[in-house]
Chain A
Amino acid sequence: MTHSPVSDTEQFEVALTTQVRSYLSTYRFWAMLGLVLAIGGGISLYLAARGAGFVAHHFLSATDYIGAILGFVAFLAIVVGAFFGGDAISTDFGTKTGYYILAQPVKRSVLLSGRYVAAFLVSSGIVAVYYLIAMVGGIGFFSFGAVPWESFGLSFLLALLLTAGVLSFAFSLSSLSRSPAIGLVITIIVLLVGLSIIDGVVTAFAGTSSLWFSILYAADAISGMVTQGISGTTPPVWQATAISAVYAVGFAAVAYVLYQREET
């Protein structure tokens, strides 16, 4: 053979584009996009149809409006993260795809990082569409100057970091099952039900200040920083950022170790 070895970077690009194409070919991507457009777009169209007076009656300001719309972002970030990360590892070991892809001369770390970035781009894209709808509504119903740009922008960045944290967590969980479908369901149940129960129990016994470990708790800051101001959120922005970052980096490392160790 005469072909010269391909760099990890070039193989990363191949893994990334392959995975993005994979997501774009799935029903779950189009279903999530449809859900975002239906909820965000539906609310905006309804308000537009009712007129400016109706909007002014229900929302005191653009901040009030955008804060209300962004109340859905935490749930959205968790669902998209679970949907696009929940079968990331099990897809190779639960089907015979692993025999195909893992026998190629590509480092597993390159394959995994290509998949992770692809999942992040697709998930972020869906979250960004929702923010775009909120922004257009804020400008349309109020004015460009009325939009709280600083808190809105920081909220978006925190939403992206939270999405990365959820994805890393989902990537790790996806190694628990050999079936991609079961892996996906486990991830969604753990994120939406399991963590909520844990949060509820901890809050009941020790108060919300003990939820320093919870990504659901961190998610509260996403809309909170718009409605309550950057310095007035619970949890504080720094804590929400730290929790999300630790999830993103820590569970990505766990997923990496699990993916390296897994055998077909």
Chain B
Amino acid sequence: MPSIEARGLTKRYGGFIALDDASFKFEGSGAIGYLGPNGAGKTTTLKLLTGLARPTAGRGLLNGVDIGRDPKRALWDVGTVIESPEPYPWQTGQRTLEMVAAFRGVPMREARAKIKELASELDLPPLDKKTGALSKGQRQRVVIASSLLSDPSVIILDEPTSGLDPAERIAVRNILVQLKREHLILMSSHLLSEVTEVCDRAIFINHGKILLNETVQNIAKRAVDTQVDVEFAVPIHPDQLGSIAELVRSVVALSPTKLRIDYSGHSDARPEILKRCVAVGPVLSYASATLVLEDAYLQLIGGGVAGANHLAED
């Protein structure tokens, strides 16, 4: 059964603690989102788990094998994309992927078939081009393809869609959603919508400390959702919603047909607000104004400059 485990992982650089006693264990299939602002310790954790850096204390285990003791065996069934890596710039995309296949014991015929499959799924750039001549997004897709080439049971991704355009991001997300059914994926991301779509579980980290490790479903239950967007089929003025005045704090028109309602936060208010909106006019959509993870992010990490920046990026 695929597994990823951190046992008290700690990394210090002089007096600076980049990661402080991080512990978690995941087994089976699924996707875990690793969230936090820049410098929170996300990449450090992933580097320690994949042997790219050595922990000051603690251990990282992949599929039960200690990365510090036997990195080859620990990484054998693990695909990684850490820090937008760059393959050898003088190698073509095809050679890059074939080299990885050879290192990982994938028979060449099987590897070439898999490369063709991934080229189609990820819309890879022409593989006869040298990777040094590719754009950042094209190179990132080649790197993602190489992490999936040997069909590893564990996949560790550090901001995998960084540098990709929206269409490419969607393609990668779709692949991850498929993969998580039979693979264990740990991915860091700045994009909360991406984590919401792909992941079943989320870890929040800040200042090197893990703040929360919970299923997205449970985070949703806990989140204090205070805003809802309502889209009507016909133009509606905020004043027309006078009947819900006692339930809400404010109603703002986002467009002639779309209103944002800020309410008290009691979950039982939401169905009542919807009921009264329907009475005013035909409702096309009724959804939380913010993502569940955004609420949790803001509550745990704060809506300061860092938090706001990341939300803006999304």
A interface residues (Cβ-Cβ under 8 A, vs B): 1, 3-6, 10-11, 14, 18, 21-22, 25-26, 95-107, 263-264
Partner pick for A4 among B71, B74, B105, CB 8 A cutoff: B105
Contact check, A25 vs B90: say whether CB atoms are below 8 A apart. yes
Q: In the complex the two chains form, what is the Cα distance from A100 to B71 in whole Å?
A: 15
| CB 8 Å contact bits of B36-72 with A (1 = contact, 0 = none) | 0000000000010011111000000000000000011
Contact check, B82 vs A99: say whether CB atoms are below 8 A apart. yes
Contact check, A105 vs B104: say whether CB atoms are below 8 A apart. yes
Partner pick for B83 among A6, A25, A96, CB 8 A cutoff: A96
Give the residue name and chain of the B residue nearest to A6 (CB). B105
Contact check, B103 vs A96: say whether CB atoms are below 8 A apart. no
Contact check, A1 vs B52: say whether CB atoms are below 8 A apart. no
Q: In the complex the two chains form, what is the Cα distance from A22 to B146 in whole Å?
A: 19
B265 in contact (CB, < 8 A): no
Give the residue name and chain of the B residue nearest to A261 (CB). B54
B76 in contact (CB, < 8 A): yes
Contact check, A1 vs B47: say whether CB atoms are below 8 A apart. no
In the complex, how many angstroms separate the beta carbon of A154 from the nearest chain B beta carbon? Answer: 37
In the complex, how many angstroms separate the beta carbon of A263 from the nearest chain B beta carbon? Answer: 4
Q: A6-B105, A25-B90, A104-B100 are in contact. Are A99 and B83 (CB under 8 A)?
A: yes
Contact check, B104 vs A3: say whether CB atoms are below 8 A apart. yes
Total A-B residue contacts, Cβ distance less than 8 Å? 95
Q: A99-B52, A103-B50 are in contact. Are A1 and B100 (CB under 8 A)?
A: no
Known: A98-B85, A264-B52, A264-B83. 12 other contacts (CB 8 A): A1-B77, A1-B152, A3-B104, A3-B107, A3-B150, A5-B72, A97-B85, A97-B87, A102-B51, A103-B52, A103-B80, A103-B85
Partner pick for A3 among B53, B105, B146, CB 8 A cutoff: B105
Name 8 interchain pairs, CB-CB below 8 A, sorted by A. A25-B90, A97-B85, A99-B52, A99-B82, A103-B51, A103-B80, A105-B75, A105-B104
Contact check, A263 vs B88: say whether CB atoms are below 8 A apart. no
Give the residue name and chain of the B residue nearest to A14 (CB). B102
B143 in contact (CB, < 8 A): yes
| CB 8 Å contact bits of B179-223 with A (1 = contact, 0 = none) | 000000000000000000000000000000000000000000000
Q: A105-B104, A106-B103, A264-B47 are in contact. Are A5 and B76 (CB under 8 A)?
A: yes
| CB 8 Å contact bits of B143-159 with A (1 = contact, 0 = none) | 10010001111000000
In the complex, how many angstroms separate the beta carbon of B81 from the nearest chain A beta carbon? Answer: 8
Set of chain A residues within 8 Å of B228, measured between Cβ atoms:
none
**Counting chain B CB atoms within 10 Å of each CB, which of A4, A21, A22, A99 scores highest?**
A99
Contact check, B105 vs A5: say whether CB atoms are below 8 A apart. yes
Q: In the complex the two chains form, what is the Cα distance from A5 to B104 in whole Å?
A: 7
Give the residue name and chain of the B residue nearest to A7 (CB). B105
B275 in contact (CB, < 8 A): no
Q: A1-B151, A3-B106 are in contact. Are A106 and B72 (CB under 8 A)?
A: yes
In the complex, how many angstroms separate the beta carbon of B162 from the nearest chain A beta carbon? Answer: 12
Q: In the complex the two chains form, what is the Cα distance from A166 to B104 in whole Å?
A: 32
Partner pick for B75 among A95, A98, A103, CB 8 A cutoff: A103
In the complex, how many angstroms separate the beta carbon of A23 from the nearest chain B beta carbon? Answer: 10
Set of chain A residues within 8 Å of B272, measured between Cβ atoms:
none
Give the residue name and chain of the B residue nearest to A102 (CB). B52
Q: In the complex the two chains form, what is the Cα distance from A40 to B15 in whole Å?
A: 57
Q: In the complex the two chains form, what is the Cα distance from A183 to B80 in whole Å?
A: 28
Set of chain A residues within 8 Å of B105, measured between Cβ atoms:
3-6, 10
Partner pick for B90 among A11, A26, A102, CB 8 A cutoff: A26
**Counting chain A CB atoms within 10 Å of each CB, which of B52, B75, B90, B103 scores highest?**
B103
In the complex, how many angstroms separate the beta carbon of B311 from the nearest chain A beta carbon? Answer: 27
Contact check, A99 vs B86: say whether CB atoms are below 8 A apart. yes
